[in-house]
Homo-oligomer: A and B are copies of this chain.
């Protein structure tokens, strides 16, 4: 059972032509109609597939695109990945995916793996500081960020949702409902949202109401529960991602806080279950799939002329998790 893979030589031999001709025919080069037909016939008959290994080695590029994101478990990232895969497939490009777990060290390691693999395009939801990305740039790999920017890397185009507008409308909506003590529950890599939050809240900002959790579910829950216990005077929460929102709902339930009577909640990212929750969650929808798709488009078009990035709109979807600030929360 030592089936050698059928190579271009086999096709050439069977068709009675040289390998160069076969290569040309299959790459759309010029050839006489009859040879072309014969070659195609033979190739089809032998079920010949040109080896990407040989081709890539020859033209010193893998033609694959690398995708690095924190975690495929989070539906948001899943949707981003879905968008990337869709676009890549329509271009016939394979995608190598790596999960960084939001760990810069792990990210650096995966970057190394991608470089070793000869990937020449990378899409990433970056975790660490910008330094990790020096290697890809130095190697001439066209790089595009998705969903997040990386500190000190304004030389890499990015496709992101308009956090600025999202946070602002959310904050406006909450203050419009009369809320004054508004908390922010954030995750890793959300510096931009945070700064906008502070800015939008203006004089109302209270640093103690800003909590940043690490990536894990446990950490998110702990952050939410801690926040609610320490500051029973807060009346509204903005959760910076669906895991945080989930943690907030869970913690609120555990502490017997009723949503929205005792606590108003807005969650970043619209997920299917937001509607199933009771009350259904008011959210800021982000076009996750589009982010992935557009990033893939950008990286496929190549770094020739690089647009400075793409900003996709967000949308506040009002459901039932926010109420006008009524009586102050009853203390237990």
Q: B118 and A52: CB pair below 8 A?
A: yes
Q: B276 and A51: CB pair below 8 A?
A: no
Contact of A277 among B95, B112, B277 (CB under 8 A): B277
Q: Does A49 contact B (CB under 8 A)?
A: yes
Residues of B within 8 A of A56 (CB): 53
Q: Which residue of B lies closest to A47 (CB)?
A: B135
Interface residues of A in 96-155 (CB under 8 A from B): 96-99, 110, 112-118, 135, 138-140
Alpha-carbon gap, A95 to B112, bound state (A):
14
Q: Does A20 contact B (CB under 8 A)?
A: no
Q: Contacts A56-B53, A118-B51, A276-B246 known; A82 to B92 CB distance under 8 Å?
A: no
Alpha-carbon gap, A246 to B110, bound state (A):
35
Alpha-carbon gap, A56 to B62, bound state (A):
12
Stretch at the interface among A28-36, A67-75, A183-191: A67-75
Alpha-carbon gap, A17 to B275, bound state (A):
66
Q: B98 and A96: CB pair below 8 A?
A: no
Alpha-carbon gap, A278 to B199, bound state (A):
36
Q: Does A78 contact B (CB under 8 A)?
A: yes
Residues of B within 8 A of A54 (CB): 57
Q: Which residue of B lies closest to A86 (CB)?
A: B99
Q: Does A3 contact B (CB under 8 A)?
A: yes
Q: B273 and A53: CB pair below 8 A?
A: no
Q: A81 and B72: CB pair below 8 A?
A: yes
Question: A33 to chain B: closest CB distance in Å?
Answer: 26
Number of interface residues of A (CB under 8 A): 58
Residues of B within 8 A of A246 (CB): 272-273, 276
Alpha-carbon gap, A112 to B89, bound state (A):
12
Alpha-carbon gap, A5 to B135, bound state (A):
12
Contact of A273 among B71, B117, B140, B276 (CB under 8 A): B276
Contact of A272 among B118, B217, B275 (CB under 8 A): B217
Q: A99 and B85: CB pair below 8 A?
A: yes
Question: A319 to chain B: closest CB distance in Å?
Answer: 13
Q: B86 and A78: CB pair below 8 A?
A: no
Mark each residue of chain A from 53 to 64: 1 if its CB lies under 8 Å from any CB of chain B, else 0: 110110010101
Q: A73 and B62: CB pair below 8 A?
A: no
Q: Does A38 contact B (CB under 8 A)?
A: no
Q: B272 and A277: CB pair below 8 A?
A: no
Q: Which residue of B lies closest to A71 (CB)?
A: B82
Q: B64 and A73: CB pair below 8 A?
A: no
Alpha-carbon gap, A277 to B118, bound state (A):
46
Question: A263 to chain B: closest CB distance in Å?
Answer: 15
Question: A236 to chain B: closest CB distance in Å?
Answer: 19
Q: B98 and A85: CB pair below 8 A?
A: yes
Q: B5 and A139: CB pair below 8 A?
A: yes
9 A–B contacts, CB within 8 A, in A order: A3-B139, A3-B140, A51-B116, A52-B117, A73-B79, A78-B78, A89-B110, A94-B117, A96-B96
Interface pairs A-B: 3 shortest CB-CB: A273-B273, A278-B278, A78-B78
